[in-house]
């Protein structure tokens, strides 16, 4: 089963801010600090990481029988947990990035994207995710991680606000 074409297009469109901001921060950042753009990219990364968790919360809640007399099934409990963890990690990344240094925030977001992908891959192998989901997630994760790393490696950025 493949994802709908519209979902594929919208997923790839979500990479546009990552690729443009990450690339611009790295290339233009060689010559001039871009503190506002770095904060915008950090915030966008946190939003998208939170959204990845929301996808799993939605998968768990789409079934009307999630809350039953017996309680939630193991798979649904895992989905609910995966729905919250990326959002909490994104919040931590944003806090560290804004209070401690943008470079540290970017690196925490990279860890969050990679860890979420790894857990999703295990869930996908166990049949908990739609078949067409992981190829798209792989491309999106690679794009986000590369962009965040490019921004983290920009030499002239003001990494404390």
Domain boundaries, given as residue ranges, for the chain = 13-63+75-153
Rounded to two decimals, the pTM is 0.86
Q: What is the pLDDT at residue 161?
A: 53
Q: Which tokens in the block code for residue 141?
A: 């994760």
Q: Tell me whether residue 108 is exposed, middle or buried, using C-beta atoms within 10 angstroms of its C-beta: 0 to 12, 13 to 18, 19 or more.
A: buried
Task: Answer for the pair 37, 24: CB distance below 8 angstroms, yes or no.
Answer: yes
C-alpha Rg value of the chain to the nearest Å: 17
- % of the chain with per-residue pLDDT over 90: 38
Q: 74-89 as b/e, with b when 16 or more CB fall inside 10 Å?
A: eebebbbebbebbbeb
Q: What is the pLDDT at residue 68?
A: 52
Q: What distance separates the 2 farthest-apart alpha carbons in the chain?
A: 62
């Amino acid at each position: 089963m493949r994802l709908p074409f519209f979902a594929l297009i919208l997923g790839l469109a979500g990479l546009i801010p990552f690729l443009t901001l990450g690339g611009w921060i790295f290339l233009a950042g060689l010559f001039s600090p871009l503190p506002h753009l770095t904060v915008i990219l950090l915030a966008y990364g946190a939003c998208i990481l939170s959204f990845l968790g929301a996808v799993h919360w939605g998968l768990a809640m789409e079934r009307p029988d999630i809350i039953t007399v017996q309680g939630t099934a193991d798979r649904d409990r895992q989905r609910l947990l995966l729905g919250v963890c990326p959002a909490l990690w994104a919040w931590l990344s944003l806090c560290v990035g804004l209070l401690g240094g943008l470079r540290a925030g970017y690196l925490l977001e990279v860890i969050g994207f990679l860890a979420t992908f790894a857990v999703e891959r295990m869930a996908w192998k166990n049949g908990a995710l739609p078949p067409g989901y992981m190829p798209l997630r792989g491309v999106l994760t690679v794009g986000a991680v590369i962009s965040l790393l490019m921004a983290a490696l920009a030499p002239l950025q003001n990494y404390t606000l």
